[in-house]
Amino acid sequence: MSDQIVETKMNAASVRVHYGAKEALKGIDLDIPANRVTALIGPSGCGKSTFLRCLNRMNDTIVGAKVSGTITLDDEPLYGDGAIDPVLLRMRVGMVFQKPNPFPKTIYDNVAFGPRIHGLVPDKDSLDAMVADALTKAGLWVEVKDRLGDMATGLSGGQQQRLCIARAIAVRPEVILMDEPCSALDPIATAKVEELIDELAESYTIVIVTHSMQQAARVSHLTAFFHLGSLIEVGPTERIFTAPEQQLTQGYITGRFG
């Protein structure tokens, strides 16, 4: 994808997060470009997952977590006065987790769950269409179309993860957050998810946290390197992996760190 300037989908300014007395994020400023894949990398405890969770207010559920600064989605604030309703926010900003976590329901019901509770569909036919569409976009339709009534937990790990992606996109989000979506998958399932990320980037804005530097290099357009709660460097992925500007970034990605 070219380096042309794209519109900003989400913006973070001076974002700080405290877990009790501990400061987990020390003032993050970052633009998340629309229809691009942004990778967040950094060592464990650097704040990348904390930052990801700020983007759809997942930190609200953590006792003692306090978020300050501003985050916007299409210029609408996520926190503070006039904030987007969190339920609506999580429909617009979906999330896929590290371990596939399908509901203990059928494949169909997993995908239909979101559209049903958000009241997105008037009838069974349009729900069927929505489920088929989400499963197709997640690259799973061909594998499961004849057994939509089977339990989702019977799918392989890779299929379960793609089902979770289908479940996330069924509610037509604008942004998809992925927290190490492939760390529990084998290389083939990983490749399928990465191919899917490529395709999804055409319609969605994607933010992915990954411990695999090579995965960040393969799937993202923009890479942001976090360290000890600070954003050290952000730039086009190609530049970060060929000529990073910061010594810390270079030390981390080349393995001269610690």
Partner 1 sequence: MPTVGEHHIVKSYDEQLKRLHDAISRMGGLAERQLELSMKAVETRDDTLAGEVVASDAAIDADEHFVNEQTVRLLALRAPVADDLRTVIASLKIAADLERIADHAANNAKRTLVLNQTAPLAPVRTLLRMGRLVQELLAQVLAAYLQHDAAQALAVRARDQEVDALYSSLFREILTYMMEDPRTITACSHLMFMAKNIERIGDHATNIAEMSYFLITGQSLADQRPKGDRSNTEGLAP
- Nearer to partner 1 among residue 121 and residue 213 (C-beta): 213
Q: Which stretch of DSSP H or E encloses residue 92?
A: helix 86-92
Size of site (CB under 8 A) for partner 1:
21
Sequence letter at residue 47: G
Name residues whose C-beta falls within 8 Å of residue 162's C-beta, 6 or more positions apart in sequence: 138, 139, 140, 192, 193, 196
187 binds partner 1 (CB under 8 A): no
247 binds partner 1 (CB under 8 A): yes
258 binds partner 1 (CB under 8 A): yes
Name residues whose C-beta falls within 8 Å of residue 89's C-beta, 6 or more positions apart in sequence: 56, 57, 73, 78
- Supply the angle between the helices 157-170 and 187-200 in degrees, to the nearest 10: 20
In the bound complex, what is the minimum distance in angstroms from residue 26's beta carbon to partner 1?
A: 14
Contact 184, 155 (CB under 8 A): no
251 binds partner 1 (CB under 8 A): yes
In the bound complex, what is the minimum distance in angstroms from residue 240's beta carbon to partner 1?
A: 8
Count of Cβ atoms closer than 10 Å to residue 188 Cβ: 9
Which DSSP state fits 88? Answer: H
Stretch that binds partner 1, among 19-27, 123-131, 193-201, 240-248 (CB under 8 A): 240-248
In the bound complex, what is the minimum distance in angstroms from residue 237's beta carbon to partner 1?
A: 11
DSSP string, 166-222: HHHHHT--SEEEEESTTTTS-HHHHHHHHHHHHHHTTTSEEEEE-S-HHHHHHH-SE
In the bound complex, what is the minimum distance in angstroms from residue 227's beta carbon to partner 1?
A: 8
257 binds partner 1 (CB under 8 A): yes
> What x-and-dash track marks residues 194-233 binding partner 1 by CB under 8 A?
-------------------xx--x----------x-----
Stretch that binds partner 1, among 80-88, 114-122, 149-157, 241-249 (CB under 8 A): 241-249
CA 181 to CA 122: how far, in whole Å? 32
250 binds partner 1 (CB under 8 A): yes
- Nearer to partner 1 among residue 43 and residue 69 (C-beta): 43
Contact residues for partner 1, defined by CB under 8 A: 43, 213-214, 217, 228, 241-244, 247-258
